[in-house]
C-alpha cells in the first residue's frame, strides 16, 4: 500500500535524560527510522502543544504547575522514574498534543497514530511508571468536552494495567477504559477500570487474540464509542524486559490489525499511541512499534 501512514511526531518527543537511564527515550526517534527501513511511507504531522487548561482538566493544577516549571518534588519524581526537567515538560505537552491531534484526524478520516504517548500510569495528582501526564486522558477528556465525540473507549493493551487512566475516568460514562494486562505485573495494586482483563503469565498468541476478539467486540457493540484511543504497547512481547506475557512479533501485529478491523467494521474512528516496550537494544523495540503501526495502517486498507 502506498498511501502514507498519518503519524504525529515532534522533535520534542525525545527529551534528554541522565546518561545511562533505563527509559528508552531514543525509541521515539528510532521508530521513524524503523518505519523507513520497512519501506512504510509516513505523513509526519507536527502536533500543537496541549494548552495548560486542558492538562488541568484531568490533573491537579498544582501538579501541572510543578511539571511545567520543572519543580516536581523528589518523591513524585521517584514515582515517575526520571527527573522532570523543562525539556521533559515540553515533551509531555507535545505528546498530549499529538494524541489529541491524532484523535481529531481519526474522527475526520478514520485513523491516525501518535508516534509516542500512552502514558497510562499518570494519576490526577502525580506521575508514575515513566508517565508524567496522561495524554490518553487529556485527549479523551478534551474531545468529549468539545463535543467532537459523545463517547470515547480507551483500549489499553500494554502489558501493564492502565491504572492512571482508570482512576481519572472512574464513574464516567463518556470515557470508558478497557485494560487487558498481565495480572502479576506493575502496578502491584490495580485500579478499577470500566473493564479490566487480567492475564496469567506466559499467555501466547492464540489464547490472547481469541480473548481480545471477544472482549473488544462486546465493548464496542454494547457501548458504541465514536472514538477508540488505542494504547498499543509492545511490552506483551515474549522477549520484553518488563513483560510477563509471551506474544510473538506476528501475534503483536495480528493484535494491532484486529483492533483496527474491529473499529473499522463498526465505523468507529481509531487513534493509536505507542505505549510501552523495553529491551536493551532500542532499535529492536522501535522495530516492534513500527511493525505495529504498519499493521494498523494496513488494516485500514485491506
Residues that bind Zn ion (CB under 5 A): 158, 160, 233, 235, 276
- Helix residue spans in the chain (DSSP H): 27-37, 52-56, 61-68, 74-80, 86-109, 135-145, 163-168, 205-223, 249-265, 282-301
Question: What is the smallest separation between the CB atom of 285 and Zn ion, expressed in angstroms?
Answer: 11
d(CA 285, CA 300): 23
Q: Which is nearer to Zn ion, 225 or 233 (CB)?
A: 233
Q: Which is nearer to Zn ion, 142 or 181 (CB)?
A: 181
CA atoms within 13 A on the CB side of 57: 19
Q: Following DSSP, what letter does each residue of 154-194 receive, concatenated?
A: EEE-SSS--HHHHHHTTT-SSEEEEEEEETTSSPSS----S
Question: What is the smallest separation between the CB atom of 88 and Zn ion, expressed in angstroms?
Answer: 18
- Relative to beta strand 269-273, strand 227-231 is parallel
In three-state secondary structure terms, 78 is helix
Question: What is the smallest separation between the CB atom of 289 and Zn ion, expressed in angstroms?
Answer: 12
Q: Which is nearer to Zn ion, 92 or 119 (CB)?
A: 119
Q: Which is nearer to Zn ion, 158 or 163 (CB)?
A: 158
* Active site annotation includes 9: no
What are the strands of the beta sheet with 195-199, ordered from one edge? 42-45, 5-8, 111-114, 269-273, 227-231, 152-156, 175-182, 195-199
Question: What is the smallest separation between the CB atom of 221 and Zn ion, expressed in angstroms?
Answer: 28
In the numeric block, the cell 541522565 is attached to 18
Question: What is the smallest separation between the CB atom of 160 and Zn ion, expressed in angstroms?
Answer: 4
Query: Nearest to Zn ion by Cβ — which residue?
Result: 276
d(CA 195, CA 180): 8
* Phi, psi angles (nearest 5°) of residue 247: -75, 150
Q: Which is nearer to Zn ion, 158 or 205 (CB)?
A: 158
Cell readout for 97 is 498534543
d(CA 215, CA 52): 35
Catalytically annotated residue among 10, 59, 120, 121? 121
Question: What is the smallest separation between the CB atom of 279 and Zn ion, expressed in angstroms?
Answer: 13
Question: What is the smallest separation between the CB atom of 265 and Zn ion, expressed in angstroms?
Answer: 27
Q: Which is nearer to Zn ion, 57 or 242 (CB)?
A: 242
Q: Which is nearer to Zn ion, 47 or 164 (CB)?
A: 164
CA atoms within 13 A on the CB side of 120: 32
**C-beta of residue 207 within 8 angstroms of C-beta of residue 250:** no
DSSP 203: -
Q: Which residues are catalytic?
A: 121
Amino acid at each position: 500500500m502506498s498511501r502514507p501512514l498519518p503519524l504525529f511526531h515532534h522533535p520534542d518527543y525525545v527529551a534528554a535524560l541522565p546518561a545511562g537511564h533505563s527509559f528508552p527515550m531514543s525509541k521515539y526517534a528510532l521508530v521513524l527510522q524503523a518505519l523507513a527501513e520497512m519501506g512504510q511511507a509516513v505523513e509526519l504531522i507536527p502536533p500543537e502543544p496541549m494548552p495548560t487548561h486542558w492538562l488541568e482538566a484531568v490533573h491537579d493544577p498544582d501538579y501541572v504547575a510543578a511539571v511545567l516549571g520543572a519543580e516536581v518534588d523528589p518523591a513524585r519524581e521517584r514515582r515517575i522514574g526520571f527527573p522532570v526537567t523543562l525539556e521533559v515538560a515540553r515533551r509531555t505537552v507535545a505528546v498530549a498534543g499529538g494524541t489529541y491531534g491524532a484523535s481529531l484526524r481519526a474522527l475526520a478520516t478514520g485513523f491516525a497514530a501518535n508516534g509516542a504517548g500512552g502514558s497510562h500510569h499518570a494519576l490526577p495528582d502525580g506521575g508514575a511508571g515513566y508517565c508524567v501526564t496522561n495524554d490518553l486522558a487529556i485527549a479523551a477528556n478534551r474531545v468529549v468536552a468539545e463535543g467532537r465525540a459523545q463517547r470515547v473507549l480507551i483500549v489499553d493493551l500494554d502489558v501493564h494495567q492502565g491504572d492512571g487512566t482508570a482512576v481519572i475516568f472512574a464513574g464516567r460514562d463518556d470515557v470508558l477504559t478497557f485494560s487487558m494486562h498481565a495480572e502479576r505485573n506493575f502496578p502491584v495494586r490495580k485500579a478499577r477500570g470500566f473493564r479490566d482483563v487480567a492475564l496469567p503469565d506466559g499467555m501466547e498468541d492464540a489464547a490472547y487474540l481469541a480473548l481480545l476478539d471477544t472482549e473488544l467486540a462486546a465493548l464496542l457493540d454494547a457501548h458504541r464509542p465514536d472514538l477508540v484511543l488505542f494504547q498499543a504497547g509492545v511490552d506483551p512481547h515474549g522477549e520484553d524486559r518488563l513483560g510477563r506475557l509471551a506474544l510473538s512479533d506476528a501475534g503483536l501485529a495480528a493484535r494491532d490489525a484486529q483492533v483496527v478491523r474491529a473499529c473499522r467494521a463498526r465505523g468507529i474512528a481509531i487513534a493509536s499511541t505507542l505505549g510501552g516496550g523495553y529491551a536493551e537494544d532500542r532499535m529492536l523495540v522501535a522495530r516492534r512499534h513500527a511493525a505495529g503501526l504498519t499493521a494498523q495502517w494496513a488494516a485500514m486498507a485491506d
